[in-house]
Structure formats: structure tokens, C-alpha cells
Amino acid sequence: MGLKDYLYDIWEAVATTAKGMRITARYGVDPRETITLQYPDERWEPSERFRGFLYNDIKTCTSCTMCVRVCPVDCISLEAVRGADKKMVLASYDIDIGRCMYCGLCVEVCPPKSLKHTSGYEKASVDRGELILHFVHEDANEIKARVAKQVAEAAAKAEAEKAAKAAEEAKASGPVPDDGRKEAPAGQPASQPAAAANPAEGEKGEPGKPEEPPKKGEGNTP
């Protein structure tokens, strides 16, 4: 390396250092150039497609369990029971954000779109139990008991309506036709209907005459 190249390298090092210090000085002096955000008094505004903590609107959730089945880390769990109107009722819905990988698969497959990503990202804790988000605040056993009671009441009401309808149909069909039998006192057999007229009796109720045997010589006897 010649002297000329050596001096050129020194000049280039000084020039680039001066250029970098000029940019640093500009950011340090100009108040319009923000370098450090004064957190937590100031916070960056997340972008529109930011995947923060999950949130489920249980009012529109249908308990289809699609989010539970598609989650690759099993961070979502739910319990549901069938109500009196044949629809599923949520008993519990929990999301463990300590295990969530924020992949967004559960949000994509949610049919009613009740599961969404929020802009939340602050959840520091020393206890893993605090990282589980509970969206149903009522006790699951109480919800199950209440729904079971409603189902039982609905079934009893349906049976009562069915019995009343059957009674109305029987009443509308009219009285049962009388077959001539009369109820007998206890211990005695019921009276039988009048027997058919004796073929030997006449048309006016007179006893008929017995048939006389054919006389000898009459008829087609050989």
C-alpha cells in the first residue's frame, strides 16, 4: 500500500465519522426528532392488523368449538350445555394468553366472528394463573344447574300441553257410542245386550211353529 492510499483511508474514516456524528447531533438537539418514547406515559399506537390479546364476545358466540379444535397450542378451553331452546349455552370460556402464539387461526375459523385480536399487549405477571382470561364470570356449575332446571320445566310444560291437546281432541270427537251394555253393581256381571230374535219366532214376536217333518211320499225322495 502506497502513501497515497494510506492517506485516503484516513480521510475516509474521518469523513464517515463526522457524517455519523452530524446525524446523531441533529437527533439530540432537534426536539422534533423523537428517539425514545416516554413509556408508560406515552405508548406507540399499534397498527390496524396488530395481533394482540384475544377477546371473545360471548353474547354472539355459538359454542361451536372451532377455535378449540384449530388452536395448535391448546390455549382455548370452553364448556357448553344445550338449553331448552336447543341452543348451546356457554358455561365457561377461558384463553391462556401465556401459551397463545398469536397465530390468528382461531379468529379466521370463527363462524360468528365473535373472536378477535385486540391491540392489548401489556400483561406482565409473576403468576401464570393471572395470564388466563375468563370471559364467563359466573360459576360453571351454577349455569349448568340453571339450564338443567329450564330444560326440565320446558319438558314438563310440553307434556302438559300434549295431554291437554289429546283431551281436547277426545272431547271434540264426541261421546263413545253405546253398545247396549249397562254398568252392573259391584259384584254382579254386566248385563248383556238383547239377544237376536229367535229365528223360530214370528215377525210380530209370536213364537214360531216348529217345522213339521215331511210326509211320506212328498219331496224328491227316491
CATH (domain of 127): 3.30.70.3270
Tell me, yes or no, whether 203 lies in a domain: no
The model's pTM is 0.58
In a domain, residue 113? The reply is: yes
Nearest to residue 80, comparing CAs of 58, 102, 96?
58
Residues lower than pLDDT 50 in the chain: 194-197, 199-205, 219-222
Position 77 scores a pLDDT of 95
Rg of the Cα atoms in the chain: 48
**What was the pLDDT predicted at 221?**
45
Q: Indicate whether 157 belongs to any domain.
A: no
> Looking at residue 108, what is its pLDDT?
95
- Please report the pLDDT score of residue 124 as a whole number: 86
Flag whether 14 is in a domain.
no
**pLDDT reported for residue 196:** 47
Task: Give the pLDDT confidence score for residue 156 in this predicted structure.
Answer: 92
pLDDT of residue 16: 92
The span from the CA of 68 to the CA of 51, in Å, is: 18
Report d(CA 113, CA 107) in Å as an integer.
7
Domain assignment present for residue 63? The answer is yes
| pLDDT score, position 205 | 47
Is 184 inside a domain boundary? no
The answer to whether 107 and 115 are in contact (CB under 8 A) is: yes
- Is 199 domain-assigned? no
Structural domain span for residue 127: 54-143
Domain count, the chain: 1
In a domain, 6, yes or no: no
What the block records as the C-alpha cell of 222 is 227316491
164 neighbors 178 (Cβ within 8 angstroms): no
CA-nearest of 84, 87, 111, 107 to 95 is 107
pLDDT in tens, 96-140: 999 999 999 999 999 999 999 999 988 888 898 899 999 999 999
